[in-house]
Amino acid sequence: MTLLWVLVQEGIGNLVFGVVILFYAGLFAFYLLSRWLLEPENPLFILLFSLLLACWSWVVLNGAITFQELPAQMHAPWPWIAKQWLAYMIFWGISLLMYQRRGRHGRV
């Protein structure tokens, strides 16, 4: 099901194939590195990992637009990164609360 979801996301837009795969590969690598440094339940982990993902998504998207030479005007990334950061923090916080209340307790 995950592979199908990634392929659907890849086929929707007009960017080159591999942007979503690159984003998810970075997400996985950054998660493993961040989890090695901090526990995922730690609020500092949530803040820093969300900021890292927001910046990473901007880098991947901007890189794809630049490599494809699309005539898109990319403005300052900070408002977009701030919105992504907030969305990731909210999603991660809600997911963590749902896991703690309805999921297994303890380390996985």
Q: pLDDT tens digits, residue range 41-57?
A: 788 888 888 899 899 98
pLDDT of the residue at 22: 83
More reliable by pLDDT, 11 or 18: 18
pLDDT of the residue at 19: 78
Task: Please give the Cα distance from 108 to 15 (Å, whole number).
Answer: 36
pLDDT of the residue at 24: 84
pLDDT of the residue at 9: 62
- What b/e readout covers 58-86, taking b as 16+ CB neighbours within 10 angstroms? bebbeebbeeeeeeeeeeebeebbeebbe
pLDDT of the residue at 86: 92
Residue 63, token pair as written in the block? 């890189």
pLDDT of the residue at 14: 62
More reliable by pLDDT, 32 or 6: 32
pLDDT digits (tens, 9 = 90+) for 53-95: 899 988 888 888 887 777 777 677 888 889 989 998 898 888 8
